[in-house]
Structure 1
Amino acid sequence: MSRDGVDSPSCEQKAPLTAKSTVQDCSKQGSGGSMGPPPPVPVSQVQRAADQRQRQKVPHEHGMSQLEFIRSTKDMSGLNGKPRRKAIPRAEVAEHNTPRDAWVVLHGKVYNLTPYLPFHPGGAAILEGVAGTDCTELFNRYHRWVNADFLLKNCLVGHVE
Structure 2
Amino acid sequence: MSLQVPASGFKRPDLPIPNRGPSAASGSTLTTPNRLPLTSRGKVQLAPGHSPLDWARLTSTTDLRGVPTFQRVTPSELKRHNRRGDLWMALGGKVYNCTRYLDYHPGGPQQLMRGAGRDATQIFMETHGWVNFESMMSKCLVGVLVPEPEVDSDDLST
TM over 0.5: yes
Aligned to 2:86: 101
Q: Which 4+ residue blocks in structure 1 deviate beyond 4 angstroms?
A: none
Partner SS, residue 106 of structure 2: coil
Find the aligned partners of 1:67 and 1:108 in 2 and give their Cα distance: 26
Larger Rg: 1
**Percent identity of equivalent pairs:** 40
Following superposition, the deviation at residue 61 of structure 1 comes to 1.1
Partner SS, residue 53 of structure 2: helix
Aligned to 1:64: 50
Gaps of 5+ in 2: 1-38, 147-158
Find the aligned partners of 2:135 and 2:115 in 1 and give their Cα distance: 20
Aligned to 1:160: 145
2:132 to 147, 151, 158: 147
| Matched ranges for 1:43-82 at <5 A | 54-72=40-58, 73-79=61-67, 82=68
Find the aligned partners of 1:71 and 1:153 in 2 and give their Cα distance: 13
Q: Which string of whole-angstrom CA distances, capped at 9 and with x for unpartnered residues, describes residues 49-99 of structure 1?
A: xxxx931111011110112111212011111xx1212x2111100000111
TM-score (norm 2): 0.64
Aligned to 2:102: 117
Gaps of 5+ in 1: 1-52
What is the one-letter code of the residue matched to 1:75?
D
Over the aligned positions, Cα root-mean-square deviation in angstroms equals 1.3
